[in-house]
């Protein structure tokens, strides 16, 4: 028998883990002197605000675009904002189904991780 000792304090769910790492590293990146990188981060915030298309629709567009490009972290980011903006589970499934059809079965592993992350968002909310 092998025993691993893991302290409880270190154990985070995937939502917290993602947000903490993302926040820590973004801080380091933006504390640098490179203006091009800073402006790209800035644009990322601006592109998803209400315009002639509302924010919720833009986030759904961002989610599907991230899924077909198979970027798990980008998917997680848009899942969170979609969840906060009131996207329903059924709406989520329709967005993911479009992304999986367009991007093919290689998208399925990312679909699995998206559903897992979404369910953590739901649990956190209870």
| Residues between 59 and 78 that touch its own copies (CB under 8 A) | 60-62, 64-74
First CA to last CA distance, the chain = 37
HSE value, Cβ hemisphere, 13 Å, CA-based, for 6: 7
- Entry field: residues in the chain: 126
Find the angle CA(25)-CA(28)-CA(34) to the nearest 5 degrees: 120
Question: Which of 79, 82, 107, 120 is in the footprint of its own copies by CB under 8 A?
Answer: 107
Our finding on whether 105 is near its own copies (CB under 8 A) is yes
Cβ–Cβ under 8 Å, residues 87 and 62: no
Regarding 82 and contact with its own copies (CB under 8 A), the answer is: no
Residues 40-59 that bind its own copies (CB under 8 A): 40-41, 43-44, 46-48, 51-53, 57-58
Tell me if 2 contacts its own copies by CB under 8 A.
yes
Pick one of 17, 20, 84, 119: the residue that binds its own copies (CB under 8 A): 119
């Amino acid at each position: 028998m092998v025993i691993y000792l893991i302290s409880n304090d270190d154990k985070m769910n995937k939502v917290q883990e993602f947000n903490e790492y993302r926040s820590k590293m973004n801080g380091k990146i933006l504390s640098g002197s490179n203006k091009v990188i800073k402006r790209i981060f800035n644009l990322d915030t601006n592109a998803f605000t209400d315009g002639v298309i509302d924010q919720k629709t833009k986030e759904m567009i961002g989610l599907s675009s991230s899924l077909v490009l198979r970027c798990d972290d980008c998917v997680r980011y848009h899942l969170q904002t979609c969840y906060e903006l009131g996207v329903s589970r059924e709406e989520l499934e329709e967005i993911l189904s479009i992304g999986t059809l367009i991007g093919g079965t290689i998208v399925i592993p990312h679909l699995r991780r998206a559903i897992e992350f979404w369910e953590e968002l739901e649990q956190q909310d209870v």
